[in-house]
Structures are given as structure tokens and as C-alpha cells.
Amino acid sequence: MFAGLLLLLFRFVIKHNVSTEWRLVIALVLEGAWEIMENTNTVIDRYRETTAALGYRGDSVANSMGDIVCCAAGLLIARKVGWLRSLPIFIATEIVLLFWIRDSLILEIITLIHPFEVIKNWQLGH
């Protein structure tokens, strides 16, 4: 996701070509910042209120580091295979996660921005 968003930002908004290496650095800084913010009391409390993560206490260091590594891997894979092949991979991953663990990146973003009781009930299996 960061690969595509950064590419769009630099190509069409800023109108400056940025190397893959710098996009990777920027993506990792953003992901690291998100991991820090995600583990603040405010966001943790929001997760508890709006999602099925009722007992959530924050991510472990290993989980946060895994997310950062996956961000880097995802950007490098997207760079290698191109956005036309990356988008279906991203969508397929989201769908698998929805059915496997009843959660995904997009669902997390939706519930943090505007919680829906129907989503929370579905995640809880009601």
C-alpha cells in the first residue's frame, strides 16, 4: 500500500521522481511512526472501543518489527512485480485475512475512523 501511495504522491502530486531506495526509507519511517502511534494509550483505547480487540494491550515488539519487515518486503515486491500485479495480491491478502482472522488493514482503518457496530459484531462472531 505504501509503495502505491508514495508512487502516486511523488509522481502526480509533487511531480518529482524519487528512487525506490528513498521510497523505501520514507515507507519505513512512516510505518515506524505508525507502530509508535498505534501503541499509544489513545489508539489502544480506540481499538478496544471500536473493534473486537476488547482485551487489546498493544503490539509486542516482535509484532511491530514484523510489521515493519513486512512493509519493506511489500514495497520491494510491489516494485519488482509492478502495481498491476501488486494490487490483486493486496486485495487477495485482505480477503484471506477477512475470512481467516476476521480482520485486515482496510477493516482496521475503517473501524478506527468510523466504527460500525455490524463490523464489530461480525468480528466477534455474533
> Per mean pLDDT, which range of 60-69, 76-85, 87-96 is the poorest?
76-85
What CA–CA distance (Å, rounded) separates 67 from 56?
17
CA 17-67-104 angle, 5° bins: 95
Report domain extents, the chain: 2-124
Name the pTM for this structure.
0.79
Average pLDDT over residues 68-77: 91
More confident position, 6 or 33: 33
